[in-house]
Amino acid sequence: MKRILVTGGAGFLGSHLCDRLIEDGNDVLCVDNFFTGSKANIAHLISHPYFELLRHDVTIPLFVETDRIFNLACPASPIHYQHDPVQTTKTSVHGAINMLGLAKRVKARIFQASTSEVYGDPEVHPQHESYWGKVNPIGPRACYDEGKRCAETLFFDYQRQHNLDIKVVRIFNTYGPRMHPNDGRVVSNFIVQALKGQNITIYGNGQQTRSFCYVDDLIDGFVRMMNSGPEVTGPINMGNPGEFTMLDLAEKVLSCVGGKSKLTFHPLPIDDPKQRQPDITLAKEKLGWRPQVTLEDGLKETVNYFRNALNV
């Protein structure tokens, strides 16, 4: 049994990770300030003898004993991270510094949940880990993009300077149960609008592409990465390389939900990437990992979750 700290543990990804870690027989400390996380996501774990919940903001140092740290704390959807962009940057940068300091003190292995947003609006397709990205450092998305890029810098500097045992994963679009219904991400947007009989909002001409990974696949990748040897530091891309346009996704959601929602077209948000697809060669080679859940199967589970959550 390992003592494992999960920051952002009451969020969409964090709560699924806590489930998996408990299932694997670990002692889990879930830390969250509940800005975007929800107690409902981890309510079923509260009575578990090896689960503990702590309300805490990672921008403030934390002094606990732990063997491993998963650092997932940070709002990840544009609506949420642009709500308080200064705090978003602080969460990524100060949060990384505080968790790295904790890992250094207790000699813990530490995992950073980075993002495909470090690639910005990419000029290389699909995106591989050696690509440095094309990011606007002063745009409205920069608080998240550059905050996560700086966090990666800190992780690798702590490794070089303090010989810290680090793991860095770059997450591509992930979806599944427990997504926030109002987080502005395309999968939850389309599903919620379709379930409510509203028109489906398409930005631009709908030809921009994304790759969608089901949450269970991603969490399996996290665990494989954390359990890999010390020579595997990353960054490693994790996502589903299947590429879909926004029109493709809308069609699949409407097919799954039914109803008579129509598509409406709106201007593209500033700095919205036109293409996003992971090269997962490294994940396959180093971790033996690849996604197993098809978009159709994952959407069914996600639609069922929202149908129950929204009571529609």
Question: Which residues are known catalytic residues?
Answer: 144
Cβ neighbours for 75, distance < 8 A, ≥ 6 positions apart: 35, 36, 81, 83, 88, 91, 144
C-beta of residue 14 within 8 angstroms of C-beta of residue 8: yes
Query: Within the chain, what is the greatest distance between any pair of CA atoms?
Result: 58
How long, in residues, is the chain?
A: 312
Cβ neighbours for 196, distance < 8 A, ≥ 6 positions apart: 310, 312
Q: Is 115 helix (H, G, I), strand (E, B) or coil?
A: strand
Written as six digits, the tokens of 125 are: 């397709």
What is the separation of C-alpha 116 from the centre of its chain, rounded to a whole number of angstroms? 9
Give the sign of the dihedral formed by CA 75, CA 77, CA 82, CA 85: positive
The rounded distance, in Å, linking the Cα atoms of 141 and 269 is 10
The rounded distance, in Å, linking the Cα atoms of 203 and 222 is 31
Cβ neighbours for 259, distance < 8 A, ≥ 6 positions apart: 194, 195, 197
Contacts 24+ apart (CB under 8 A), 155-158: 155/96, 155/100, 155/110, 155/112, 156/233, 158/100, 158/103, 158/104
Q: What does the buried/exposed string (b/e) look like for 265-275 if buried means 16 or more CB atoms within 10 Å of the residue's CB?
A: eeeeeebebeb
